[in-house]
Amino acid sequence: MTDVIYITEEGLQKLKDELDQLRLVERPLISKMLADARDKGDLTENAEYAAAKEAQGMLEMKISKLEDVIARSRIIDETKIDTSTVRILNRVKIKNKTNNLVMEYQIVPESEANFKLGKIAVNSPIAMGLIGKKVGDTVQIKVPSGIIPFEIISVSM
């Protein structure tokens, strides 16, 4: 994959911290588990060794994936984000025209999405329907329960 991943500085730091944790804490721990299992003798019938080898493989795969994500990441410059239309990192207040419920979301990179905190992924159906629209626009967004009309009330940082 050579796709660029847009991310906030905070999100990139979280990824780097997780990578450090895996490299500096978990990797040595698994190496010690392998050494302890190896010291117990015959490796062909050593379930502890097999489990440690599998854990090592999973860890190395996770480290490799994180390294790839970090290498492809580009930090989004928040100072250059325009609020005249809905874009990534904007806070958007929308009103469901069906039930008049008002919601506010921040559109963030997929890796930083957290619905409980009001952060929706840029590739989610709601975000994709809002991107590029202006305050006052009404958009029809297809969600699992059907098509819902939303009015954009405000766009901010």
Task: Please check whether the two domains, 5-75 and 78-156, share a CATH topology.
Answer: no
Tens digits of residue pLDDT in 99-156? 989 999 988 888 788 889 888 888 888 888 888 888 888 899 888 888 889 998 988 8
Please give the CATH topology (third level) of the domain spanning 78-156: Chitinase A; domain 3 (3.10.50)
C-beta separation of 135 from 156 below 8 A = no
Interatomic CA distance for residues 29 and 121, integer angstroms: 34
Structure token digits, residue 22 = 């895996």
The hierarchical CATH code for the domain 5-75 is 1.10.287.180
Q: Which of 71, 65, 111 is nearest to 88 (CA)?
A: 111
In this prediction, residues 66-83 reach a mean pLDDT of 80
Residue-range domain boundaries for the chain: 5-75, 78-156
